[in-house]
Amino acid sequence: MSISPIQSCKLLWPLLLLSAVPIAAGAVRLLGLAFGSVVTPENARFVAMPVPVVLHILCATVFCVLGAFQFDSAVRRRTPRLHRSAGRVAVPCGIAAALTGLWMTGGYAIPAELQGKLLYGVRLLVGLAMTLAIFASVRAVMQGRIAQHKAWMVRAYALGQGAGTQVLILLPVTLLAGAPTPLLRDVLMASAWGLNVALGEWLIRRRRAP
């Protein structure tokens, strides 16, 4: 008997909690843009051109929250029609989140202390990989290859949840040792995506095991 990538509700609440911090941070960012905030080197690019970051926050929020429920096997069994409808919303949101992430990486003037060459390259790779994974997932389900559909969506979701894992990694380091150097910050942020991808691949292979 095969094992679902994420069985019932075992990871539903952890995934929602993982999404909570970046969603809260995104909400604060949106409020600041809507009602005006003090322009600093950290937020000047968003104030000057808010559309990409607003789209990114909104679409990433929908993708991460809906995705948590999409992986719940109990929900899929009870309401398959709802699963398909939610997927039609989550997919374009995921693609939009990935593409706006790519645009912000290459189009915004990001201070060097917030994004070095390593993080720049990783962000481009993540945005491209997430977009391709979602397209591969859609293509697989349209061809009736459900196992491949699930596997590619797990990969896309793992990449989409990078911001939540970055908080889990950066926060304790900052509390224990102070603000990391720019290079260490790049390494830690990049490692969050690596950790998510590794966990996603483990879940996929666990499902394939007899």
- For residue 143, tell me if it sits in a domain: yes
- For residue 115, tell me if it sits in a domain: yes
- For residue 2, tell me if it sits in a domain: no
For CA atoms 187, 43, 40, 29, give the dihedral sign: negative
- For residue 158, tell me if it sits in a domain: yes
- For residue 70, tell me if it sits in a domain: yes
pLDDT of 72: 80
How sure is the predictor about 76, in pLDDT bands with cuts at 50, 70 and 90? confident
- For residue 1, tell me if it sits in a domain: no
Average pLDDT over all residues of the chain: 91
- Res. 59: pLDDT tops 70: yes
- Res. 208: pLDDT tops 70: yes
pLDDT of 210: 57
Q: What's the pLDDT tens digit per position in 78-113?
A: 888 899 999 999 999 999 999 999 999 999 999 988
- For residue 155, tell me if it sits in a domain: yes
For CA atoms 57, 59, 60, 65, give the dihedral sign: positive
* Spatial separation of the C-alpha atoms in residues 95 and 99, rounded to whole Å: 6
- Name the nearest CA neighbour of 184 among 109, 126, 113, 123: 113
- For residue 53, tell me if it sits in a domain: yes
pLDDT of 209: 65
Total number of domains constituting the chain: 1
CA neighbours within 13 Å on the CB side: how many for 125?
Answer: 10
- Name the nearest CA neighbour of 208 among 141, 159, 148, 136: 148
Q: Residue 92 corresponds to which tokens in the numbers above?
A: 């374009």
Range of 162's domain? 12-208
* Spatial separation of the C-alpha atoms in residues 120 and 123, rounded to whole Å: 5
- Name the nearest CA neighbour of 151 among 194, 207, 73: 207
- Give burial (CB, 10 Å; 0-12/13-18/19+) of 108: middle
Greater pLDDT, 96 or 4: 96
